[in-house]
């Protein structure tokens, strides 16, 4: 027996078929914009990985160089490094941290920069300072240190910053750390680098401009706005205490990116107090430990973004640390557009990181 289907029923069935298709189209990815810089990122949920998928990756950092006898940083004197600019020691005389000029500096130490040019192009001599900050233990990286030991590193960062910020030809000081070969570390021994240079990087300039525009429009620091919202919202929080917050940014450029920033408005890293160093050390170490445990000890970079030391007023800015694990590789789309693709939502990344804080 043939069953007759009315036109009304046919139309209703067609509508049912279309709904899942529309949902699929609009759920596969999301473009998110950085509130400070205006940059776009793609959160590609259509090709998303689960947090546990990242723990299966193998990184070269899991088999770091064990040759301590020939390590240049275990015994700096043997490598004929220049004299230390700073050294911390225990009561028994054993050093715990030392800072010395980079043996192969990217900038010519102590010289005043001079303009040089060619035709329509402008250039200047590469003058500045390039130093290395080395902790004692060859095998202990930031997640493996105590809060006191991490605070000592931040103390060294501050000490060297204050020593160099008023030098001629210094308008910006960048402090960064590379962990693992994929992140640019040529020596396995834990070390950070400081470069005091005559120019302000384009990315910092972009942040400064974005923060100023937001401040003029809203009469409030954009980073304070971010910190307050993330602390209340909780979905992207990794860890926080009374002074500092660690979170996965709303517009994360790569999977498991974390920012650490003071909750109170602080434009200048070099003005950090002794008490705040311990609070920062706790939050910062927890953030890196969470990455290590969640993503199977990946290579990473971190760097401090702070106001320039060029004598201008940057009260609208807010210093912070950006931690970027190497969980993806740029390809054609990223290189051509400058728009990065992350394959996990920062909300899910933060949830996984919170579970691995210990």
| Ranges of each domain in the chain | 28-354
Q: Tell me how far CA of residue 170 lies from CA of 65, 166, 203, 267, 311, in angstroms.
A: 35, 7, 18, 18, 10
CA distance linking residue 98 with residue 248, whole number of Å:
32
Q: Which CATH class is domain 28-354?
A: alpha beta
Pick from 305, 303, 295: nearest CA to 328 = 295
pLDDT given at position 230: 98
CA distance linking residue 240 with residue 227, whole number of Å:
10
How do the pLDDT tens digits run along the chain, 358 residues long?
444 556 665 565 555 544 444 343 345 688 999 999 999 988 887 655 676 666 666 666 655 677 788 888 998 777 777 789 999 999 888 999 999 999 888 887 766 777 777 888 888 778 899 999 999 999 999 999 999 999 999 999 999 999 999 998 899 999 999 999 889 898 999 999 999 999 999 999 999 999 999 999 999 999 999 999 999 999 999 999 999 999 999 999 999 999 999 999 999 999 999 999 999 999 999 999 999 999 999 999 999 999 999 999 999 999 999 999 998 776 787 777 777 788 889 999 999 999 999 8
Sign for the pseudo-dihedral over CA of 239, 272, 146, 255? positive
Q: How far apart are the first and last CA of the chain?
A: 68
pLDDT given at position 77: 74
CB count within 10 Å of CB 177 equals 24
Pick from 130, 133, 135: nearest CA to 149 = 135
State the pTM of this model: 0.87
pLDDT given at position 1: 46
Is residue 287 classed as helix, strand or coil in its secondary structure? helix
pLDDT given at position 18: 47
CB count within 10 Å of CB 47 equals 10
**145: exposed, middle or buried (C-beta count within 10 Å: 0-12, 13-18, 19+)?**
buried
**135 φ, ψ (degrees, to nearest 5):** -90, 160
């Amino acid at each position: 027996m043939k069953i007759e289907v009315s036109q009304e029923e046919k139309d209703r069935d067609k509508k049912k078929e279309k709904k899942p298709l529309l949902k699929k189209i609009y759920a596969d990815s999301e473009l998110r914009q950085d509130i400070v810089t205006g940059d776009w990122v793609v959160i590609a949920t259509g090709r998303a990985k689960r947090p546990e998928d990242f723990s299966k990756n193998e990184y070269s950092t899991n088999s770091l160089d064990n040759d301590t006898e020939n390590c240049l940083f275990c015994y700096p004197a043997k490598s004929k490094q220049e004299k230390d600019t700073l050294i911390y020691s225990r009561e028994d005389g054993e050093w715990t941290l030392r800072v010395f000029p980079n043996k192969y500096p990217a900038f010519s130490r102590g010289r005043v920069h001079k303009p040089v040019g060619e035709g329509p192009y402008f250039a200047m001599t590469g003058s500045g300072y390039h130093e290395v900050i080395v902790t004692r233990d060859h095998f202990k990286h930031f997640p493996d240190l105590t809060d006191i030991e991490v605070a000592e590193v931040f103390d060294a960062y501050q000490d060297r910053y204050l020593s160099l910020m008023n030098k001629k030809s210094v308008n910006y000081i960048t402090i960064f750390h590379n962990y693992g070969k994929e992140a640019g570390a040529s020596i396995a021994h834990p070390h950070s680098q400081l470069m005091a240079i005559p120019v302000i990087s384009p990315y910092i300039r972009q942040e400064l401009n974005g923060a100023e525009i937001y401040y003029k429009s809203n009469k409030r620091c954009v980073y304070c706005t971010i910190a307050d919202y993330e602390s209340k919202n909780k979905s992207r929080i990794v860890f926080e205490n009374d002074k500092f917050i660690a979170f996965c940014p709303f517009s994360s450029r790569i999977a498991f990116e974390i920012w650490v920033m003071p909750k109170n408005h602080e434009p200048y890293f070099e003005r950090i107090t002794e008490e705040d160093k311990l609070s920062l050390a706790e939050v910062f170490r927890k953030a890196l430990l969470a990455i290590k445990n969640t993503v199977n000890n990946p290579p990473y970079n971190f760097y401090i973004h702070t106001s320039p030391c060029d004598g201008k007023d940057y009260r609208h800015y807010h210093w912070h640390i950006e931690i970027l694990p190497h969980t993806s590789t740029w390809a054609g789309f990223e290189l051509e557009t400058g728009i990065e693709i992350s394959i996990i939502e920062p909300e899910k990344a933060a949830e996984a990181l919170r579970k691995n804080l210990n």
